[in-house]
Chain A
Amino acid sequence: MSDHNDPDLQALFDQQPVVQNSEAFVADVIAAAGRRRMHWLAWRAAIVAGLILLELVFESPISHSLGVLGSAMKTPVISLQDDWAAFLIEPINSVAGVLGLVLLGVHVLLRRYIR
C-alpha cells in the first residue's frame, strides 16, 4: 500500500461494496470465446478453400511460387573455395541460413529485453 494515501479516502474506498460473482457473466465470456474461435476457424477454412481453388483454376501458381522461393532460399550468400572454411560455413551459407540466424537473433533480443 502507498504510504502517501489519505487515510480518510482509503477508508471510503475500503467501504465500497465488492462486485459479486455472477455465473451469467462467466457464461457470457465463455460464449464470446466460443464465437471468436468459430469465427477464426471459419476464416482459416475460407483461406484454405481459396488457396485450393487458386491451385485448381490457375495451373498450380502456389506450387510454382513455392518452388521458386525454395530455389532462392538455397542461393549461397558468399562464394567460397573448397577449403575448411567453406566446409564450416556451408550449413549457413544460404539466404535461408542467414534468414534463420537473423530470426534467432531477434527472438533472443525480444526475450531478453522485452519480456
Chain B
Amino acid sequence: MRESPSHYREGPEPLVVSLAARGDRHAFEELVRRRQGWIRGLFRRFSGDVTLADDLSQRVFLKMWRRIRSLKDPTKFAGWLKQIAVNEWIDHQRKQSARWDVVAEDNELVAPATTPGTAIDLDQALAELPAVVRVCIVLAYHERMTHPEIAALTGLPSGTVKSHIRRGSARLRERLIDYGDSQ
C-alpha cells in the first residue's frame, strides 16, 4: 500500500496545497487522499454511476495536479477544486448533448422509469431529472450551496437556478414519497 509521510497527513491543508503547488508529489497524493471521498461522492450524486463517478474524479485530480500552480490562495483550495469538478461534469454533459442546460418543455413530464407506487432511491430519482436541474439540486442539497453560489459556479443565471431547484425539488418529492413511506 502507498503511504504519504506522516507529516503530510498531519499538516494543515493550505500548507499541503502550497507544497503540491511546488511540485511535491507526496503533497499531491495527500490531497487526493483527503478529498477523494468528497469528489467521488459528488460525482456519484451527479451521475448515479459508481464507475463513471470514479473515472471523472480521477480526471479532476489530474487536472488539479496540472493546474495547482495557478491557485494563488491555498485557503481557497476546496472551492477551486469544486469548480474543476463541476466544470468536468458540465463538459461531460456537453459531450452527451450540446444543449445540456436547456430543459425541454415536455422534459418535466418525462415518463418515470419505474411504475407508479414503486419505491425508488434518491439516485434513481435524480437520474430522472434533466441534467441541468440535477446539477442545481445536487449542489443545493448535497453541497448545501446557496442559489447565488450555484449561479456563480455553473454560470447559469440566478433566476434560472432558483427555478430549476424549485421544480426539481417538487419533482423529487413527488417521486420519493413512496420511497420515504417504505423506509
> Smallest CB–CB gap between A5 and chain B, Å?
6
> Smallest CB–CB gap between A37 and chain B, Å?
9
A2 and B33 contacting across the interface, CB-CB below 8 Å:
no
Contact size range, B: 35 or more
**Residues in B61-80 with C-beta less than 8 Å from chain A:** 61-62, 65, 70, 72
Q: How many A residues touch B, CB cutoff 8 Å?
A: 28
> Smallest CB–CB gap between A21 and chain B, Å?
5
A25 and B147 contacting across the interface, CB-CB below 8 Å:
no
- Determine whether B54 belongs to the interface, using a CB cutoff of 8 Å to chain A: yes
Q: How many A-B residue pairs have CB under 8 A?
A: 87
Known contacts A18-B37, A19-B37, A115-B72; A12/B180 CB under 8 A = yes
**Interface on B for A, CB 8 Å cutoff?**
1-2, 25, 28-29, 32-33, 36-38, 40-41, 44-45, 54, 57-58, 61-62, 65, 70, 72, 122, 140-142, 144-147, 162, 165-166, 169, 172-173, 176, 180
B40 and A25 contacting across the interface, CB-CB below 8 Å:
yes
**Residues in A27-63 with C-beta less than 8 Å from chain B:** 27-30, 32-33, 36
Chain A, residues 72-98, CB within 8 Å of chain B (1/0): the string is 000000000000000000000000000
- B38 partner residues in chain A, CB cutoff 8 A: 19
**24 contacting pairs across A/B (C-beta < 8 A):** A1-B144, A4-B147, A5-B144, A5-B169, A6-B173, A9-B172, A9-B173, A13-B122, A13-B141, A16-B142, A19-B36, A19-B37, A19-B41, A21-B33, A21-B37, A23-B2, A25-B54, A26-B2, A26-B33, A29-B36, A30-B2, A30-B25, A33-B25, A33-B61
